[in-house]
Structure 1
């Protein structure tokens, strides 16, 4: 009987430990809108301990929960971006502090002299709790948060992973800096893979115009220029061609190399599609452009029973539908 009681006690203890561990992080599928899709620590000391063990800086979100429209939009627009979520959860230790609550939240709020009932503020600190970069306040854009995260990783002497750099490139571009250019060549599959490799190129599209196979190149003119693209194309026997009404995209030829790989079963951002297709065509490392969750899914495709082509679907929707863990 004593042995039975001992076993029961141990079982209850293990269950308690498991529940305690599970509750140290929030659940993105069942949490306030203001927290986005990030799984956050809610205890400051636990976050610092995790930082010390993992060698990652702590990203502290001071957020009003429930909050105003600014707080809600920050959760929906910034903290729910799939790649932004991946960066926060994998390159940092995420900690959420409610700025409109008492108890432990209020203690940490006062420790960092943050205002109560305020719009979202982000501080990035080391494992001792010391601030590393200028706090993100009054800037509620994904670009503002990304800039602080990248700066913190550099200070922490952590490598900025390729998938994070792609996120930064996508966030940097604006409608004013995004431009198109058209090149003709003997094979648009080759054109896509080579032009897609260039820094500043955001997207390539296979098509036809004036009887030629062409590639439409969308690029950020703050990163590269017409002259640089023209010179690169010319060295590869591609010719600049002006747009006319005869142009039409050839969807069946789009991202040819990606389409003939297992990467087609992954939700991908537009820039990820461009860079992965180019890397595959040039026999370079394409895996580097995947986030940790995308990589996990990619590895699991070998044994997956059901696969759906997702690379050309809406990125946010396909990501959410898979509920990537």
Structure 2
């Protein structure tokens, strides 16, 4: 490993972020670029917790892209001697420890308390969002949507299902409720329904029920939900269907298309670049938008490449 270079791919504890390994060089770059520093103290090679943090948290394409775009990332190995150990002492961090993430301003001062004793993507997302907001920087729409996806992934959302005269229009109607995260067209006992995952901090089940009834829908309890063959019907009519997308992105794009709402803010810079690429439709299938983004993203990188910005090629 080069002490001043980028982390090698074989270190699973580091995920897909391209980390600098020179702390002082990272601070110099941060000052030069007016960016905050994302400072990771990580055990490499590490325990199962360290590996999971690298593979579960630091591999999501939208998390990786945001870090590359808005931060100067630097990794310090907490179980190595030499300059790593020196930086460890400077921050009074223990050796042979689970992952710790600190957030520094371009001046090297800590922006907010470190992320420690929490090793999930939602925790890192919340800290990154807080850093951007404290610096009065915009939090990209795609990154806010990722936070809502993570609520679902961590079991912190609620789910309700409604019968609808037409589930395709039902998807777009229900997606307009502020609490809605995802909407999916499907079937329960032969009836057309829309399943909604929502953020309980922004609305309750009674709130959603009242909204749905006003739209002509009815809540349904019980039964087994079966996803329709063509969920996000309107998105399927748009070239964005060829993009790797998260579930929350799919639902918001499906709403934007029929209402002709500009949706550039819903996409990351890489997704926007792919959408503008004339080779997209030939390189990506019609069902790409429905696939797990962790699978479809590297597949499209292999076909069309990436715009860079310090990100790995995922290859």
Compute the TM-score of the two structures, normalised by the length of structure 2: 0.86
State the alpha-carbon separation in 2 of the partners of residues 141 and 246 from structure 1. 30
2:311 corresponds to which residue? Answer: none
Q: How many residues align?
A: 299
CA pair 144-248 structure 1, distance change in 2 beyond 3 A:
closer
Identify the match of residue 255 of structure 2 among 278, 282, 285. Answer: 278
CA pair 247-86 structure 1, distance change in 2 beyond 3 A:
closer
Q: Does 1:190 align with 2:169?
A: yes
1:314 corresponds to which residue? Answer: 292
Q: Does 1:225 align with 2:207?
A: no
Gap runs ≥5 in structure 2:
307-315
CA drift at 1:77: 0.9
CA drift at 1:263: 0.9
CA drift at 1:132: 0.8
The answer as to whether partners of 1:170 and 1:271 remain within 8 angstroms in 2 is yes
Gap runs ≥5 in structure 1:
1-19
Identify the match of residue 297 of structure 1 among 274, 277, 292. Answer: 274
State the alpha-carbon separation in 1 of the partners of residues 41 and 50 from structure 2. 10
The answer as to whether partners of 1:183 and 1:240 remain within 8 angstroms in 2 is yes
The answer as to whether partners of 2:160 and 2:205 remain within 8 angstroms in 1 is no
Structure scoring higher RCO (CA < 8 A, sep ≥ 6) equals: 2
Compute the TM-score of the two structures, normalised by the length of structure 1: 0.83
CA drift at 1:179: 1.6
State the alpha-carbon separation in 2 of the partners of residues 168 and 79 from structure 1. 14
The answer as to whether partners of 1:63 and 1:71 remain within 8 angstroms in 2 is yes
CA pair 53-280 structure 1, distance change in 2 beyond 3 A:
farther
2:95 corresponds to which residue? Answer: 116
1:83 corresponds to which residue? Answer: 62
Question: How large is the Cα RMSD of the aligned pairs?
Answer: 2.4
CA pair 217-144 structure 1, distance change in 2 beyond 3 A:
closer
Superposition map of 1:103-252 within 5 A: 103-173=82-152, 174-175=154-155, 177-185=157-165, 187-208=166-187, 213-236=192-215, 238-243=216-221, 248-252=226-230
